[in-house]
Amino acid sequence: MQIMSVTGSQKFAVLLCKFRDTKDTELHPVCFYADLFATNGSGGLNDYWRSASLGAINLDGTDVFGWQTIDDTLANYIATHPDCTDKLQGAIDAFKEVDASKYTAVIPLFNASLGDGGETTGGIVGNPADVNVTWLAHETGHIFGLEHSFDMSDRKAISWSAPGEYYDSYDIMSAMNVDGDSGHQFSPRGPLLNAANLIRMDWIEPDRIWTPRKTNSSATYDVDIVALEQPEINGFLAAKVGGVIIEFRINTGFDAGLARPAVLIHQPAEPNSVIVASDLVHFVNE
């Protein structure tokens, strides 16, 4: 497994964009987006990544700019900016005061739908429906280097996806098919990253990963694993044995949307993680 190492503050420039013909629509006040992206203790994206990375990263230093009117109509902007990279650059060009080089990535959020969005080179393009922690965590996960997660089935989430892609409901990198929470101002939120992706990012300390003392002989072990949402409890957060990674998840915190507690097994495939099915016929992955 290729190990990536992203640590410390990951600052984003969030650009709130509207058009000449949508200038009267500001979906939320600027303070809402500051809480969503940057404020500690708000239950937003900064809190999410502190929890999901086990404290390895945060979004401190993220800045929110706008609302600013782009000198164009919505329809013409879409016509003259056909892909996400174009749409991102158009927003950057409109915010002359923002030095994109000072940030990990730029995230323009538009007050009307552009028809497409998501992660692209240099940032993320967001539409009105994308203002929630689950979608934003998934797309910023791509910025940090993570790929989509899979299960072992031949299901296809949409026509262009690969078999099994987006079907690890316990991992944020399957965000098209996960159980996020409800009832929070930034819902849906969660779930966390699976342990295979945490190990890929080098976000679990080695002494919190259990491995067998003997690798060339059979043995029986009794191992206690702490839930990933509760790393403050002493103990192992994962077990790595026989080419698979074992973890325990409970439905609390950013995992509150999970249907139930579960023990999960993952294969650390490259560059994706694959959840091992307990019942492949009925698509049971826990």
Q: For the residues 176-198, what does the mean pLDDT come to?
A: 96
pLDDT tens-digit readout, 118-128: 999 999 999 99
Give the chain's mean pLDDT.
94
pLDDT tens-digit readout, 82-103: 999 999 999 999 999 999 999 9
DSSP secondary structure of 181-206: --SSTT-S------HHHHHHTT-S-G
Sheet of 118-120: strand order equals 63-70, 12-19, 105-110, 123-125, 118-120
215 — pLDDT class (breaks 50, 70, 90):
low
Domain boundaries, the chain: 8-143, 154-286
- d(CA 69, CA 159) in angstroms, rounded, equals 36
Phi, psi of 284 (to 5 degrees): -95, 120
100: left (phi over 0), alpha (psi -120 to 50) or beta: alpha
pLDDT tens-digit readout, 61-82: 999 999 999 999 999 999 999 9
2 — pLDDT class (breaks 50, 70, 90):
low
pTM, entire model: 0.95
Amino acid 155 reads R
Count the neighbouring beta carbons within 10 Å of the beta carbon of residue 13. 23
- d(CA 129, CA 142) in angstroms, rounded, equals 19
Amino acid 9 reads S
pLDDT tops 80 at residue 192: yes
16: helix, strand or coil? strand
Alpha helices in the chain (DSSP H): 30-37, 45-52, 74-80, 84-94, 133-143, 195-200
Q: Specify the pLDDT at position 218.
A: 72
End-to-end CA distance of the chain: 23
Task: Tally the residues of the chain.
Answer: 286
| Residues β-bridged to residue 64 | 14
pLDDT tops 70 at residue 199: yes
For 230, the token pair is 């509760």
For residues 46-82, b (16+ Cβ closer than 10 Å) or e, as one string?
Answer: bbbbbbbbbebbbbeebebbbbbebebebeebbeebe
